[in-house]
Structure 1
Amino acid sequence: MRAQQVRAGDLFAALPGTRVHGADFAADALTAGATAVLTDQAGVDRVALLDHPRVVAGEVTLLVHEDPRGVLGSAAARIYGDPSQRLTILGVTGTSGKTTTSYLLESALRAAGHTTGLVGTVETRIAGERLDSAFTTPEAPDLQALLAVMVEHGVTHVPMEVSSHALALGRVGGTRFAVGAFTNLSQDHLDFHRDLDDYFQAKALLFDGRSEHEVVCVDGGWGQRLVTDDTITVSTTGDASWTATDVEAFPTGEQRFRAHGPDGTLDVRLRLPGPFNIANALLAAGVLTAAGVPAAAIEQGLAEVDVPGRMERVALGQDFTAVVDYSHKPGAVAAVLDAARAQVTGAHVGGRVLVVLGCGGDRDVAKRPLMGEAAARRSDLLVVTDDNPRSEEPADIRAAMLGGALDVPEGERGEVLEVGDRREAIAEAVHRARVGDVVVIAGKGHETGQDVAGVVHPFSDRDEVAAALRRRLDTGSARLGEGSGGTQSSGEPTYPAGGRGSNEEAR
């Protein structure tokens, strides 16, 4: 809670930060009517708190703890009546797939007749009412307040994305999870975590006993490290409690498979393409079964899901596929482009994969060349562009991506093009598309703004793809440079491919 949000009777949490201490703002909170302050000893020693007249007069209760952030969740839960005890909360953590799995869970829960909430990256929902999300997982007081409101609105079941930040910073402290689920782990957020193992240890906190049931995808070694005797395991490649067979992928991107679990088999239909979405759906089936959802509702719910900004198709009658995806880490980029490659190989011999990709500023810099490399290896055209440069120089971010892309030998990559203006980059990819191609606009997904030098400009990949498609359909082409806005262009240098041959030879 910020000091300016305090109302009479509130508890103000004055937490230590990397640059300032929350107790420096205690005077504002106490003047606004806070009756108690939770802080550490360093906070108690701050002049703004120690010398405040209400503290001197003994009118304020000081709660001192060596790790106030660590106990804030439990304190907030008590204040709001322990709402998670009256909700069935299904927590999903992992690097990729949290959002998709949460949407799959919510759809099946609604099919089973439950009143649902949703907490995640794209949005928060309370019994069908949509709210924007500022964080994947809200701060502890906000989360407990949100859960309490859900209880008041008759919500019974809540799929929740649980980020590594939320676990490491205690945002979900005091929250009881009926089921905790793990998707996968790959490089991300190393601007926050020391290394991959530290990142994993944060994710592993969801499985420290706070979840009544645990469901883990064991297709990777990180998930295997979470397995205990009671773990419900999921795998698309090996032995597990839940496995998939008879997978069918269709040119439309839809898929079907059979999910085999401890109590029987489900016939699953998905609107979502790619092997990674088989894993997401299988994980959802394991979570839902653990939560007591009937098989028929699971089958119905999984079949009805489209996820905003996750392999989301933009179709205006064009003769190629255009999709928008949130993939913004090396593993996710690889998985999405592998799915696109499988689609063009199966649907249209000679179809190509064209991708527009950027990296965010003020984030993990080590993943930039890795993302460039992953995209260059898997595409026939990679357009390197800007994402959310934030406070960084956009050209420097693109240069790091280009370094990784151009390190791939010419015979093992497609053409690489640099177009700094994201609107122009999208228009160029759409302009170059041919019959049977798949155009992937990656990195921003559902986002509706572009952060440049601290200013967020309206920008939607979905809208820009649609606009480029309309121009192409109306005029027969979509020329590079139509429209305006976005961040600066770099002069559009092109780095040609060498010796790729057909798609099949390249793969």
Structure 2
Amino acid sequence: MTAPPRPTRTAPVPLTTLVTRLDTRPLSRDDARAVTGVTLRAQHVLPGDLFAALPGARAHGADFADAAIAAGAAAVLTDPAGAARPALRDADIPVLVHDDPRDVVGSVAAWIYGEPSLHLSVLGVTGTSGKTTTSYMLEAALRAAGHRTGLVGTVETRIAGERLASAFTTPEAPDLQALFAVMVERGVTHVPMEVSSHALALGRVAGTRFTVGAFTNLSQDHLDFHPDMEDYFQAKALLFDGRSTSEIVCVDGEWGRRLVTPHTITVATAGTADWTATGITTSRTGEQSFTMHGPDGLTLPVTLPIPGSFNVANALLAAACAYTVGVAPAQLAAGLAAVEVPGRMERVALGQDFTAVVDYAHKPAAVALALDAVRGRTDGRVIVVLGCGGDRDEGKRPLMGEAAARRCDLLIVTDDNPRSEDPAAIRAAMLAGALRVPGDERGQVVEVGGRRAAIETAVARAEPGDVVVIAGKGHETGQEVDGVVHPFSDHDELRAAILARLDGRPR
């Protein structure tokens, strides 16, 4: 794994300062040292770092302390169990012991890197679906206003236009604080970022001050991590526990309405809210036009190049966030009109006589929304290629199959990222859900093992005026099978299949 970016200069922080702030004490008498960085990974330790040796699901970070010390770690932060491991029990560097080091490592990293989020306008977006699209829309509006932006999310991390690959939707706490410090160094002023439930529950955003916290929606996902939907919601709600200066919530659903306080800024595509939309129309090619209504009598005509009513909600949320940090209405409209979101209702147009779309929908509600969006703008058939990931929430597999079967004319059930599971077993769970739908309420359902073959089948069977949707992987450029990530891009595979059809040649 490539080491995450670090600031070029960090003022040394004395260990005594950390000890005082943490209300703990090192197990060594050597209090004269200072630290200049922090990391959770021994392979990323630089001389002068604080190595955070945290307990994990499969191993304890303290088991890798020898490597961290050899690399030049100045001190170690761990829990009592880690401090008792042989590598740390006899270590000749200070060991700071805390009952719950994961809970404090974000704050520690913020102290070491100079509280960088206080020098940025960090705009956090949480929710099940729409985080990526809303963040891109928000960044587009900020850039239209002339701001130097960063971006942190599922698809990529960007620092003033420079692209970095993303390993997680939200980086681990020390990496996030170092990233913010790099952004400060490079003159970034505003940072839209996706905030996952994992990040909130595991403390990855501890030490971060949000200028704005925003909520899109909530539907079933990640129930392999959260025991139930209430726990999932409570994790999302942590973004609104006082760590965000302004709170902006989409109230189209009941989960969002539960977050509303007298100070909440609300958005909705239906009903009463601070931000609403009227007169929504969609062109044959998918662009949407509507009038946005906001505070202070704001009435703003908007053109959005992305289809789907749910993207109107995302645009309202992005506009409310941008307006809250001072972006002018005309700049809002310009940013939204120019936004591009990789793998989110992304069209592949090569002159073929049918519409082809790649979308990241990988949850039951997201599949339903995506297919409802394309159904509303075609008189032809809707053909869907869909799989489910392995080693993740098994309960959503039949639900995704059912949601797709109800909304398409042809469902091709295939593989996603099977990971360590048998792909055929995952497909069987999806097929069971699809075939639960009564025959007169569902489209044709077929199974094609192998995602490339499934995409080729969809393209081969498309007729003029149809819409082909390749759903589930979106922007991803790999497919994980038995622990190995193989290069694979839905966009590239769809493009190749369309070109082969246009050339009249088999692939």
Assess same fold via TM > 0.5. yes
Partner SS for 2:377: helix
Alignment of 1:455-466 (within 5 A): 455-466=484-495
Q: Deviations over 1:276-302 (max 9, x none)?
A: 000000111111111111111101000
C-alpha distance in 1, partners of 2:360/2:82?
40
> How far 1:61 moved relative to its partner?
2.5
Q: What residue number does 2:352 align with?
A: 318
1:316-355 correspondence runs (5 A): 316-344=350-378, 348=379, 351-355=380-384
1:161 is the counterpart of 2:190: no
Shift of 1:431: 1.0
1:360 alignment counterpart: 389
Distance apart, 1:454 and its partner CA: 1.0
Residues 38-84 of structure 1: CA deviation (Å, up to 9, x unaligned)? 111111122221123x1xxxxx2222222110111110011111111
Matched, 1:308 2:342: yes
Q: Secondary structure at the match of 2:223?
A: coil
Q: How does 1:10-49 map to 2 (within 5 A)?
A: 10-49=49-88
Residue 248 (structure 2) aligned to one of 215, 238, 241: 215
Q: Is 1:412 paired with 2:441?
A: yes
| One-letter code aligned to 1:208 | D
- Is residue 432 from structure 1 mapped to residue 461 from structure 2 by the alignment? yes
Tell me the CA shift for residue 31 of structure 1: 2.6
2:108 corresponds in structure 1 to: 75
Shift of 1:19: 2.4
Aligned to 1:244: 277
Q: SS of 1:343's equivalent?
A: coil
Offset at 1:200? 0.7
Name whichever of 5-14 and 329-338 sits farther off. Answer: 5-14
Aligned CA RMSD, in angstroms, stands at 1.0
Residue of structure 2 in register with 1:184 after alignment: 217
Partner of 1:102: 135
Distance (whole Å) between structure 1 residues aligned to residue 130 and residue 158 of structure 2: 19
The letter for the 1-side match of 2:149 is: T
> SS where residue 118 of structure 1 aligns?
strand
CA contact (8 A) 2:249 2:267 kept: yes
* 1:124 match: 157
Amino acid at match of 2:497: A
Please identify runs of 4+ aligned residues in structure 1 that moved more than 4 A. none
Three-state SS of the structure 2 residue aligned to 1:174 is coil
Using structure 2 for the length normalisation, give the TM-score.
0.91
Q: Are residues 1:285 and 2:319 paired?
A: yes
Aligned residue type for 2:53: A
What is the CA–CA distance in structure 1 between the aligned matches of 2:457 and 2:63, rounded to whole Å? Answer: 51
Aligned to 2:474: 445
- Shift in Å, 1:320: 1.1
Report the identity percentage: 73
- For residue 186 of structure 1, report the CA deviation from its aligned partner: 0.3
Distance 2:157 2:71 in 1: 29
Return the offset for 1:27. Answer: 2.1
Q: Deviations over 1:141-182 (max 9, x none)?
A: 111111111111111111000011111111110001100000
How far is the alpha carbon of 1:37 from its aligned partner?
1.2
Q: Secondary structure at the match of 1:244?
A: strand
Instruction: Give how far 1:224 is off.
Output: 0.7
**Which secondary structure does the structure 2 equivalent of 1:441 belong to?**
strand
Does the CA contact (< 8 Å) of 2:419 and 2:482 recur in 1?
A: yes
Mapped to 1, the partners of 2:408 and 2:447 lie a distance apart of 14
**Structure 2 residue identity aligned to 1:4:** Q
Which residue matches 1:294?
A: 328
**In 2, Cα distance between the equivalents of 1:280 and 1:378?**
22
Q: Which amino acid aligns with 2:436?
A: D
Q: Look up the equivalent residue of 1:332 and give its one-letter code.
A: A
Q: What CA distance in whole angstroms lies between the structure 1 residues aligned with 2:123 and 2:368? A: 28
Counterpart-to-counterpart distance in 2, 1:428 and 1:367: 25
The DSSP-based 3-state class of the residue aligned with 1:246 is: strand
Partner of 1:400: 429
- Residues of 2 paired with 1:265 and 1:234: CA distance? 14
Deviation at 1:473, TM superposition (A): 1.1
SS in structure 2 at match of 1:181? strand
Q: Quote how far apart the aligned CAs of 1:13 are.
A: 0.4
Answering whether residue 39 of structure 2 is matched by residue 5 of structure 1, we say: no
Determine the structure 2 residue equivalent to 1:257.
Answer: 290
Larger deviation: 12-21 or 150-159?
12-21
Read off the aligned partner of 2:470 and give its amino acid letter.
I
TM-fit CA distance, 1:376: 0.2
- Choose from 119, 124, 129 the match for 1:91: 124
Q: Quick one: distance in 1 between partners of 2:254 and 2:385? A: 30
CA distance in 1, matches of 2:68, 2:81: 17
Please tell me whether the aligned partners of residues 113 and 181 of structure 2 are also in contact (alpha carbons under 8 angstroms).
Answer: yes
Partner of 1:499: none
Amino acid at match of 1:336: A
Query: Residues 14-40 of structure 1: CA distance to partner in whole angstroms, max 9, x if unpaired?
Result: 111122211122222123221211111
Structure 1 residue 414: Cα displacement: 0.3
Residue 495 of structure 1 corresponds to which residue in structure 2?
none
Instruction: Indicate the residue corresponding to 1:486 in structure 2.
Output: none
2:503 aligned residue: 474
Q: Partners of 2:46 and 2:369 in 1: how far apart?
A: 48
1:51 aligns with 2:90: yes
Larger deviation, residues 5-14 vs 231-240: 5-14
How far is 1:266 from its partner?
Answer: 1.6
Tell me the alpha carbon deviations over residues 309-347 of structure 1, each in whole angstroms, 9 at most, x when there is no partner: 000000011111000000001000000000011011xxx
Q: What amino acid is the match of 1:149?
A: V
Structure-1 separation of matches of 2:328 and 2:77: 44
Structure 1: 5+ residue runs without aligned partners? 55-59, 484-507
2:88/2:95 contact within 8 Å kept: no
Mapped partners of 1:457, 1:24: distance in 2: 30
What is the CA–CA distance in structure 2 between the aligned matches of 1:383 and 1:180, rounded to whole Å? 38
CA drift at 1:127: 0.6
Q: TM-score, normalised by structure 1?
A: 0.91
User: Structure 2: 5+ residue runs without aligned partners?
Assistant: 1-39
Give the one of 273, 287, 307 matched to 1:273: 307
